[in-house]
Amino acid sequence: VGLLFIYSASYRAEEGMLTAMTRKQMGWALAGLAMMFGVARYDYRALMGHAWLLYVGGVVLLLLVLIAGVKVYGAYRWLNVFGIRVQPSEFAKLGALIAMAAYLAHPSRRLEDPQTMAVVLGLCGLPFLLIMQQPDLGTAMTLLPMAFMLLFVAGVPLRSLLVLAAIGLALLPLGWWIIDDYQRERLLVFLDPGRDPLGAGWNKIHSEIAVGSGGLRGKGFLMGTQNILGFLPRTVAPTDFIFSVIAEESGFLGCLAVLCLYLVLFASGVRAAWRARDLFGRLLAVGMVSLVFSHVFVNVAMTIGMMPITGLPLPLISYGGSFMVTTLIGFGIIQSVYVHRITR
């Protein structure tokens, strides 16, 4: 599904059968699948012994981005590794997940102790702040629901979690002075799309036109006018707004089919967590499901105008090598948890 609509979103008649983006994404998908099957055969419990190394490695990569990162569209989010552009924040998210899960699953951990919550928030907060510096608000924000779900599933008292959520909501207005100017403009355009229809509001307006014009069955493959005619720019159509392309060309029914596929993935992840052999496995599965769900929810809501534009890709569908590979590695971890489950 992803390859088909990346092809459509990047289609140019003169390029022939396969666009450059499609060829690259096929390569990343194959590499990710190979890693997924490799990780699935690996006993996930061994990750506990490497959790801190993976976490520190992710943090170091995030620091390297700030020092020697590649600037693309005004943001430093990538590193060039042997000529390949890599997005370290995607790998840092996996490292943070494994580290938080390992910490909470330690047999001596006292979950009712406030220090436990403080350490988890610190493990989440460091990569969060480093990713914010790139700046990449959307990716940073996905760490927060993941950390919250890990604390909840680990057994941290609900009262403590409610207090934490209340504090977070109370501090939310302070974010207005922390985020960059272009991010403030996105929020203002979300509230008033007519504020800058030819600038910051362009993608939002044409995304909604694409979704609405798709109707029940869509216009047909390669027949989406907002996409093919370039009203949705080719810089964003295959990535952040791939769901708009799906909606315009396959309609409501196509969107529903895609969301049902995600529902199957979520159910499989929850099933693996339920059948996990230990708390560490359960936390890994829940954390990965939380990450993917956050991406799907925000991307779809952004596309249909229910949330501000954040630049979060759609898992397994949007164009992007680092995100594709790390998502498949994450599913490999879930599969490993299920393979090593308690059999009844």
pLDDT tens digits for 133-183? 888 888 999 999 999 999 999 999 999 999 999 998 898 888 888 888 878
Q: How confident is the model at residue 258 (pLDDT cuts 50, 70, 90)?
A: very high
Question: Is the pLDDT score of 13 beyond 50?
Answer: no
pLDDT given at position 200: 79
CB of 127 closer than 8 Å to CB of 62? yes
Closest CA to 255 of 204, 296, 225: 296
pLDDT given at position 309: 86
Question: Is the pLDDT score of 11 beyond 80?
Answer: no
The reply to whether omega before 135 is within 30° of 0 (cis) is: yes
Helices (H) and strands (E) in the chain, counts: 14, 3
Question: Is the pLDDT score of 216 beyond 70?
Answer: yes
- Among the listed ranges 20-34, 45-59, 323-337, which one has the minimum average pLDDT value? 20-34
pLDDT given at position 58: 95
**Residues sharing a CB contact under 8 Å with residue 251, sequence separation 6 or more, in sequence order:** 214, 215, 216, 217, 218, 219
CB of 342 closer than 8 Å to CB of 273? no
Tell me the pTM.
Answer: 0.91
Question: Is the pLDDT score of 97 beyond 70?
Answer: yes
**CA atoms within a 13 Å half-sphere pointing along the CA-CB vector of 150:** 31
Any long-range contacts for 145-149 (C-beta under 8 Å, 24+ apart)? 145/290, 145/293, 145/294, 146/93, 146/96, 146/97, 146/100, 146/287, 146/290, 146/291, 146/294, 147/100, 147/120, 147/121, 147/123, 149/286, 149/287, 149/290
Question: Is the pLDDT score of 45 beyond 90?
Answer: yes
Q: How confident is the model at residue 344 (pLDDT cuts 50, 70, 90)?
A: low
